[in-house]
Amino acid sequence: MSKLLERISSGATLISDGATGTYLQDHGLEPGGCPEHFNVTHPEVVEGLAGAYAAAGSDMVETNSFGGSRYMLKKYGFEDQVAAYNRLAAERARAGAAGKFVLGSIGPTGEFLEPSGTATEAEMYDAFVEQVRGLAAGGGDGFCIETMSDIGETVLAIRAAKDVTDLPVIATMTFDLGKRGYFTMMGVTPGDAARQLDEAGADVVGSNCGIAIEQMIEIIAAMRSATEKPILTHVNAGIPTIVKGEIVYPDTPEHMASLMGDLVSAGADVVGGCCGSGPDHIRAFVKAIRG
């Protein structure tokens, strides 16, 4: 068993990191800029991102590679840079957060599989293999497949990671609260997600983004009752709102920290932040969980 999985399975609650995009935008990433390109052009910012979370007390940090598949990089004309950008992403995280676990972030391709869309399974699998290889070459300790809404796509990413590396795989999906409860955009419930990601071979399952911590507690409880696997969650700092003409994520570190106990009791083994959260949130999570 890898060290990362050993730690996650030890029974102690681990702390992951907070948002990547929010931090990069605060450090010069223009709206519409390619975040992964920053691995090349702004190494100090990407290392600083990992360093800030390491200093805040994160046990693991995610790489700046969420949109690092060839499908996403193509939107910026960087589709031939998949291997390099992902390798660099892992190296930057490693350099910035020495002694911490590095999770290779893998986000959705932005495409639908056939017959809903035009992407074939073979093509999408190849794209994930390419990204996984880059992240592994850069020294990642595992993968965090995240913000997924389609089971088919998520399973391809899990398979790709398992087929070409021996590293642990975390897979998390994003749910929205609709009229009949929690579903991903593609209609997957938290319970189904936990079961199917577990069956597909994910070592850790979970949920990230989409809703605020109060709802995430319900989602994690539903996933907990459907799987024995460890559960990870990256939670948004609430749903964005306007305060004095500025767009803000409303949930303060204190508010989120006050609900960490409930999140852990619901079944989370690893907790961290998603959109709108930063190092201050992580510091508050560490304090709430470890005292």
Other beta carbons within 10 angstroms of residue 122's beta carbon come to 9
The site that binds another protein (CB under 8 A) totals a number of residues, namely 34
Residue 21 interacts with another protein (CB under 8 A)? Answer: yes
In angstroms, what is the minimal distance from the CB of 185 to another protein?
5
In whole angstroms, give the CA distance from residue 175 to residue 171.
13
- Binding residue for another protein, selected from 11, 98, 99, 115, defined by CB under 8 A: 115
60-62 and 231-235 beta bridge pairing:
unpaired
Residue whose CB is less far from another protein, 72 or 256: 72
Site mask for another protein (CB under 8 A), range 259-288, x = bound: ----------------xx------------
In whole angstroms, give the CA distance from residue 131 to residue 105.
10
Residue 183 interacts with another protein (CB under 8 A)? Answer: yes
Residue 116 interacts with another protein (CB under 8 A)? Answer: yes
Closest C-alpha among 262, 271, 167, 182 to residue 223: 182
Closest C-alpha among 8, 9, 44 to residue 24: 44
Judge whether 181 and 216 are in contact, CB under 8 Å. no
- Binding residue for another protein, selected from 55, 178, 199, 265, defined by CB under 8 A: 178
In angstroms, what is the minimal distance from the CB of 200 to another protein?
18
In whole angstroms, give the CA distance from residue 13 to residue 283.
14
| Residues near another protein, by CB under 8 A | 21, 25, 30-33, 72, 75-76, 110, 112, 115-117, 149-150, 178-181, 183-187, 239-242, 245, 247, 249, 275-276
